[in-house]
A = this chain, B = another copy of it.
């Protein structure tokens, strides 16, 4: 399930997680990020790499974060400001801090509120990229709560019947705790494919698969083969989940707007009324399971449901049926043992950046 966008085994260099984590922390600190925040930022990135969510790990994201700190687009020492709050809600201004650091802190606020009054719902403006949304939702699950995380903004998804992009890929993440089964963790863009995966396909010189993008006039490309040079900043025309009206693209589109509303409108972020290119907002929420009933019963019931889904008879050509969060859990076990596979080109980048930033250690 995750294999498609991972570095092929024959060229991957395996790197020990502890070593990678250590260097990533140092890189963040060299960007001016305080020690505790650097530890947190590295944890979010490494979680993605550990879990096989390579699109949101060090390979794709770290260099962009470094550039954004260097060009002062991101603030390494933001003052997270609670603009407005009630017992169960908060509106947060991230002061241009990186989302992978702001979102876990916002989730902690949500969790504290949920402990007191049952739920915590937090909308965040003025904060950068938040990495793998699943990480933030999982913080709630690890605290015996249900967790949500979404991030909205940018223009990549074209509305159903449209000819131009108006929404971001707008992922929804949702996590819930199990007892003996790996926690349920859903994390997916509301386009038919994640934006980073299109970037990866491009880098590998591959054409688009059917249903991923639209032709220049907006017509869905259901044959595949379209190419898009994102490096050249060409317009992205990704199709909503569902790809065509007949297959339900109005649902992916509608869910995409919902994410923009929760992240951008509810946080009163700039640019959401006009759907401007560079708008961005986040959303996290935690629902205390204890507020609804007995937590042990809940987790037992979740185990039953997940076992039941895993026991689904597979269709021809497939070994098994999984549930969201299970493959990521399995990859975490394997990579914690064997290290994280990085592309040699990424190893080179680490060498160069460590040299530039005068970091002694190397991978």
Chain A residues packing against B (C-beta within 8 Å): 1, 83-89, 91, 117-119, 121, 123, 146, 158-164, 166, 172, 174, 176, 184, 186, 188-190, 192-193, 209-211, 214, 217-219, 241-243, 245-248, 250-255, 257-258, 260-262, 265-268, 272-275, 287-289, 291-294, 297-298, 300-305, 308-309, 312-316, 318, 320-324
Query: Which of chain B's residues has its CB closest to A243's CB?
Result: B247
A291 CB, nearest partner CB in chain B, Å: 4
* Contacting pair B118 A118 (CB below 8 A): no
Q: Which residues of B contact A172 (CB under 8 A)?
A: 255
Q: Sort A-B residue pairs by CB-CB distance and give the 9 closest, nearest first.
A: A273-B304, A218-B315, A86-B118, A89-B118, A186-B254, A273-B301, A88-B118, A162-B312, A87-B117
* Contacting pair A257 B184 (CB below 8 A): yes
Number of copies: 2
Q: Which residues of B contact A318 (CB under 8 A)?
A: 161
* Contacting pair B87 A88 (CB below 8 A): yes
* Contacting pair A309 B159 (CB below 8 A): yes
* A209, A258, A260 interface centre (most CB from chain B within 10 Å): A258
Known A91-B293, A121-B287, A266-B289; 9 more pairs at CB < 8 Å: A86-B118, A87-B118, A159-B312, A161-B322, A163-B316, A174-B258, A184-B257, A247-B247, A273-B308
